[in-house]
């Protein structure tokens, strides 16, 4: 089963994502919503607000996804 994380808590968006991915993968998927705040109005009015919202939103999304990641152990040896 695939885990899908959506940057929204909107039930309609979550249902749409679940339906689309289940059809695409031809198997059940687990869809989870996470709340992500950009600190910028939902309807930005200027180019600067749009760019700021996009940048901050994506950084916040990456941080929100950390609990969903599987830890990986990496070792390095000097050549």
- Structural domain spans, the chain: 2-68
Question: Following DSSP, what letter does each residue of 7-36 receive, concatenated?
Answer: S---HHHHHHHHHHHHHHHTS-EEEEE---
- Residues forming beta bridges with residue 33, ordered by sequence position: 6
- Residues whose CB is less than 8 angstroms from the CB of residue 30 and which lie 6 or more positions away in sequence, other chains included: 1, 2, 3, 4
Residue with tokens 């959506």: 6
For 3-38, the pLDDT digits (tens) are: 888 888 899 999 999 999 999 988 888 898 888 776
- pLDDT confidence band for 2 (50 / 70 / 90): confident
Q: Tokens 């950084």 label which residue?
A: 59
The pLDDT-based confidence of 79 (bands split at 50, 70, 90) is low
pLDDT of residue 11: 94
């Amino acid at each position: 089963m695939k885990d899908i994380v959506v940057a929204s808590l909107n039930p309609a968006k979550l249902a749409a994502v679940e339906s689309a991915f289940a059809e695409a993968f031809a198997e059940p998927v687990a869809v989870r919503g996470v709340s992500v705040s950009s600190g910028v109005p939902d309807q930005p009015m200027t180019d600067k607000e749009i760019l700021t919202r996009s940048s901050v939103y994506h950084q916040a999304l990456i941080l929100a996804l950390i609990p969903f990641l599987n830890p990986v152990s990496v070792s390095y040896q000097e050549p």
